[in-house]
Structure formats: C-alpha cells, structure tokens
Copies of this chain bind each other. A is one copy, B any other.
Amino acid sequence: MSIPKGDVPPMADLSIDNITAKTILINSQNPDERLTYVFERLVTHLHDFARETRLSTREWSAGLNFLVEVGKISSDVRKEFILLSDVLGLCLLVDALDHPKPDKATEGSVLGPFHTHDAVVQPSGEPISADPNGEPLLVCCTAKDREGNPVEGVKVDVWETDSSGHYDVQYQQRSNPDGRAVLLTDADGSFWFKAIRPVSYPIPHDGPVGKLLELLHRHPWRPAHMHFMFEKPGWDHLITALYIPPDQYLSSDAVFGVKTSLVTPLGKLTAEQARKYDVPEGTALLTYDFVLVTEQETEALRDKNALEAVSKLFPGRKCKLVDHLPVPDLD
C-alpha cells in the first residue's frame, strides 16, 4: 500500500486493519526515500505474513527465540544469518536481482557463509590446499569479456573445503588460511592453481539453521563445488561456483546454488599438459572460461529490470531510481 508523506496522525487504537498504514506512515518521516520505501515494503510483508497465517503468540515467540539463537551462534567464522538466508533462497534471489547477467555472461551462484578476507595473494601455479588426503586437481581457467577478449589483473578469490568437506574456518584451531587463495589473471586472462577435488558436504547443521532444516525434513547437503569470486574496478563483481558432476546432490542443493551452466565435468591432464604444468599425467583437471561483464553493462540492465519490475508490480505507481535502486516517485 502506498502512503504519501505528511503529518503523522495520532497513533492510538491501532487494529489488525489500520496498523500497517500507520506504521508505514511513522516510518516515512525520514529524508531517505530509499529507506522509506524499503521499510514500507518490509512492514507490509511482515504484517501480511502475520495476517495471512493468523500468527499465534506462541509461534511469534518461537520465531523470535529462533532469531535470537541465530544471532547468538553468529561470529566472524560462523555466519548463521547468511546460512538462514541461503536455505530460504534469499541469497540466490538477491544475487540474481543485483547482478543480472546479459547474454553469454557467466551466471552467479551463492556466496555462502565461508568466504574470508584473509586469503593470501599467490602467483598462478601454487597449491591452495595443504590437505594431503585430497585427490589432486589442477584448475586452469580464464576470465574474458563477452567478446572473448582476455581481462587482465582481475582479483580472483577461490575457496573450497578439505577432503572431509570442512572449510578451514570450521576448525577451532585455524592458524592460517587453507583451501583458499587470491590470484590475479594474466595478460591472456588466465589463472591456474593446484587444488584438491571438491567433495559434497553438509552445511553446518549443529545450530538453529540445522534444526530448521530437520523440522522441514530437508537435508543439509551441498553438491561438490569450488567457489570463485572476481573483482576488478570497472567490472561487475561476480560471485559464482563450479559444480562437479556426478553428484547425488546436484539436483537438491540445500542452498539452491546450482546452475546447469556451472556444472563442469572434470577432465584429465594429457601428457603435454602434464609437462606444461609440471603435474603428473592423468591428474584431474578443471577448466572453465569465465565471462565477466562491465559494471556499466550490469547497471544498465539492473536499472531497466528494476523500473520494469516495479512498474509491473505497482501499475498505478510512478517510480524512479536513486543510486540505481527504485523508489516511488512522489513528485
């Protein structure tokens, strides 16, 4: 519902029918149009959710206690709210909204709760995993634009679990980053590193999000994958992952990250490749040509999609963009 700005009328005798409009009104006294719009939609959906379910006090209380638990277990290395957002499909949705992909661009996938900012920048060719039990894997990729031109100097964050399916941050005694690295693409757009073959693993399910999945009769497994994140000024931030078949969880990823275009069968190093990369012949090989798009391309597409979508959702409502984000246009 749309409420024009203005004086806030007396806030008494609020009822099931009038509380939403009044709450929106009292939240509309600040000068930030985007904040006002976000809170208008937030309050509308929060209240509609309660009205449509006829939410009981007991359920409301259980919900708040659950959120307290999610907050309590959260830390720099345990991002339970991201996990919750993941299993509810919100992460994938926000990525799709914020990073629309034009034709040919590599699709995005979920960031997940395990990215860190302390991975070491290393030259191509070095190992990223110290796990002696992992099956050796050579990863040889490129970053190019949509016309096939290499993009040089892209900062590429990569991260994966060890062979038991745990990220380094899941170990209490983590002395230094492992299973992760930052690389820079070469003049030909390429970057390569030694890793281990990804394995499928359950997301952390010993906390409140795990309890929720159990209640919903959902399994916590993710199919084997390796995370990639690409950053370069002027280029749209790309968060994605490559999924390795065969994997029994490819069609039921607990966090909805799988895209067909990101499912990448492993190859095996030929004798020639083995010599080039100084790795035994027959070593498993993961190759992928990532296609990046410029910030400008993404912004133009996002702006267009946003205006179209909001006009379609609220046919009677004029809309404008502020910092590339939609707000109702009251002028």
Contacts and interface: CB of A to CB of B under 8 A. Distances in A.
9 contacts: A19-B96, A20-B89, A22-B256, A29-B217, A30-B216, A37-B53, A38-B53, A51-B97, A53-B326
A265 B55 CA distance: 34
Contacts of A155: none
Closest 10 CB pairs of A and B: A71-B71, A10-B251, A23-B89, A45-B45, A30-B217, A64-B81, A12-B258, A54-B306, A45-B49, A60-B94
Contacts of A47: 89-90, 93
B256 A23 contact: yes
Nearest to A56: B98
A59 interface: yes
Copies of this protein in the complex:
2
A262 B326 CA distance: 41
Contact of A50 (B13, B90, B250): B90
Contacts of A97: 16, 50-51, 54-56
A67 B54 contact: no
Contact of A67 (B29, B46, B51, B81): B81
A141 interface: no
A27 interface: yes
B53 A13 contact: no
A33 to B, nearest CB: 12
Contacts of A50: 90, 93-94, 97
Contacts of A52: 41, 309-310, 313-314
Interface string A213-235: 00111100000000000000000
Q: How large is the interface on A (under 10, 10 to 19, 20 to 34, 35 or more residues)?
A: 35 or more
Contact of A11 (B51, B69, B93, B258): B258
A320 interface: no
A188 B52 CA distance: 41
A56 B35 CA distance: 12
Nearest to A249: B11
B43 A45 contact: no
Nearest to A237: B57
Nearest to A37: B53
Contacts of A46: 45, 88, 90
B215 A51 contact: no
Given A48-B45, A250-B12, A95 B57 contact: yes
Nearest to A252: B11
Interface in A190-213: none
A70 interface: yes
A65 to B, nearest CB: 8
A259 interface: yes
A259 B12 contact: yes
A175 interface: no
B13 A93 contact: no
A271 interface: no
Interface string A1-26: 00000001011111110011011001
